Chains A and B, each alone.
Chain A
Amino acid sequence: MSGAGLTITGRAAPHSHAGSSVDRIMLQVCLALVPATVFGLYLFGWPALLLWVITCASAVATEALCLLLQDKPLSRLRDSSALLTGWLLALTLPPWAPWWIGAGGAAFAIAVGKQLYGGVGQNIFNPAMLARVALLVSFPVHMTTWVQPDLLSSGAPGPWAALDIVFGGGIPDGVTGPTILGEMKTAQGAGTVSELAAGSFNWLDSLTGSTAGSLGETSELLVLLGGLWLLALRIISWHIPVAMLGTTVLLAAIFHRADPAHYASPLLHLTSGGIMLGAFFIATDYVTSPSSKTGQLIFGAGCAAVLFAIRAWGGFPEGVGFAVLFMNAFTPLLDRYCKPRAYGRNLRGRPTVARTPARKVR
């Protein structure tokens, strides 16, 4: 397996390795998504499970097809990056969306968002978010039809009814409802945000996730848990999540203090929508975020600024996808201009000068 095409003696040091691997990293990220996913599936029932399976399967199948078309080894599938993309996309979809949303979105994510750029590690935009944004723009109705989580009630669809929902007739009447961010958008127009906060917004529900929303985004708590696990494993660093959440809180706090009738509290911003998933799983995507720590801080703050702008003033109720994609576009520039300071050089890359000239005068 001297895969580098060199003889053994031609291999440069090191002759040892930490033992990390891409496969393991991707798998661990998937594992970190499990709690939030399981809860989402429990909350939204059979149609959600079907949608999740379809989306993941479509992602993997598209990846396999693209690899075949490019004569690349199918063993690349083993890194499960396609599975992760499909999984993340599924978590951001409305839980009872029709099958073609999931299948088409995942295919778009892999084919256009990833393989078109040369496959894993080469893409510029986060594939899952790209697909979500493309779907949102193309099918605004399907992408904003949310169901109220009421699995425990007798009205929950069984497996057969679920098949009908996902593959056929669509969502029956009477189970849909707005997300808290959707309500906020309406309230912003009317200047009744403060009443909303007092009324239908319950931060505990919002945090634990028993609210209307995307398949796996509703429970900010469980997503946060997975994210913290990744942090503990050192798979992600704290820079992007902290910068993103911190900036959101800061901006929300400033505007909320200034005008509570039009701007929601930081608590609402932090506990609703896809912000946790975005901060811990999507913005931290290795490929599309900067490598340097300074770059990551700016990246996270930028994501939060755009996210807040869209939530507060934009036409869409949720802006995580747009925000992350927007900052993805800046990643090459951030990588270029936020290099870490090199040893023996100042911040501008010039060699440091010894404080005292050490040349001996003889």
Chain B
Amino acid sequence: MGLVSWLFILPFVTALAVIMTPAGRSDLVRKIALAGTSLHLLLTGYIVYKFIQVATFSGEGVKEALITQLYLVEKITWFESLGIQYFVGLDGISLFMVVLTSIVIFTGILASWSVVERSKEFFALLLILVSGVFGVFVSFDLFMFFMFYEVAVLPMYLLIGIWGTGPKEYSAMKLTMMLMASSALILVGFLALYHGSGLETFDLIEISKVHFPIAFQNWVFPTIFIGFGVIGALYPFHTWSPDGHSSAPTAVSMLHAGVLMKLGGYGALRIGLYLLPEGAQNWALFFMGLTTINIIYGAFAAIKQKDLKFFTAYSSVSHCGFVLFGIVTLNMIGVKGAVIQMFSHGIMTALFFGLIGMVYGRTKTRIVTEMGGLAKVMPWLAVCFYVAGLASLGLPGLAGFIAESHVFLGGFIGNPWTDATTMRVLTVIATMSIVVTAVYVLRGLGQVFQGPLKEQFKTITDATLTEKISTGVLVATLAIVGLAPWFFIDLIEGAIYPLINRLSLNANTWMTF
């Protein structure tokens, strides 16, 4: 098996190892899971190193490319009568997402150090979920993509249902049903692509060589965009996220909000925009309106929330709105912003949910008004919480600003197919979210960490070592991405050129970058 396949086989193998451990030794289970994920971190690092060596992402061949250039490719025929292959590879975007997932699962395992009840199944399911997510990010065959997508979605049900809190069955069932219904839409889209392309293959690269008729694109693009939008918390379909996250255990909501919601953005980009450019052009304005509501709606709803997890869930609804907003701006800067926002929001929400889990572990309550003045007793967590909060409101020097500035700039520059003034008006409305985000972040964190310390919280301890490492790693990533964006930006840019070139391939005006 080549290097890239190990990305999703390693978590699976760790899961098996976790299941195989003898029943008595529950602490051994956590250690194996940690070993597996740290090994995975090394693997990702090595792959990034190999990728940078072999990939060219700024030469002039790249600017005019029309087909995504993949690296470290492995291709084995699977069902060759139907044209299904085991087709795995990496390009700028998926590498970026792989790094994100690897970091989030590593910190996720650390953050769930205290899960004791049936920990074997918990860690096994978590790792299977992650191997599904890795599978999605590296597979370039529609059938495999869909298969891993559903593998990623299903363990959520058991994870929330068994280890969750509050109305766990209801929210687990609602979450699974909405995500599976969305995968139904995606399935229709994929099969339409498979048969619409005329050539007998599920290979993404081959299908991208076909120019689909406009009418065909006009109905397939919204199906796929909405299908992926549901998991990317697109406006009317986001209701599963607050319930799902608030009753999910810490590591699960870290993983889910951090990584699974990015599948939506990634899928819309990789399948929707890449294969159906004209469809994207016709629908861009509609979805831009929807995502702007998404951003503002999520932010305003977050102000009112009393429960910390609901508060973060609505904030991630608003931030995921940025991702989809960036995609429908249809220009290089906007789409690049969308990808960076996927990464930065992934890290941010993982940090948020991790910290909430740790605070909940100590104060046994998530209601904001019941807590107060915790900064005195747990300074480390308070600092990390504030870093996450400031990153989410887009403070320069942290990852949030880089992504948001790209998205706003992309929105302002516009594209030749949508009318510029409406696009700019929508972008201004979206920019207003930085104020609303500031309001709810500071309101929430102020109520929890500042103000006089309540009696019963006097004896709380600060972060333990594992918690320090996990939050430390996430904060460091936010800072690195925020302070030194230049080294990975052109890595993404190289991967986005084909998408943008295809947009103007058949349109009359040639898209200036």
The judgment on whether A and B are partners is no
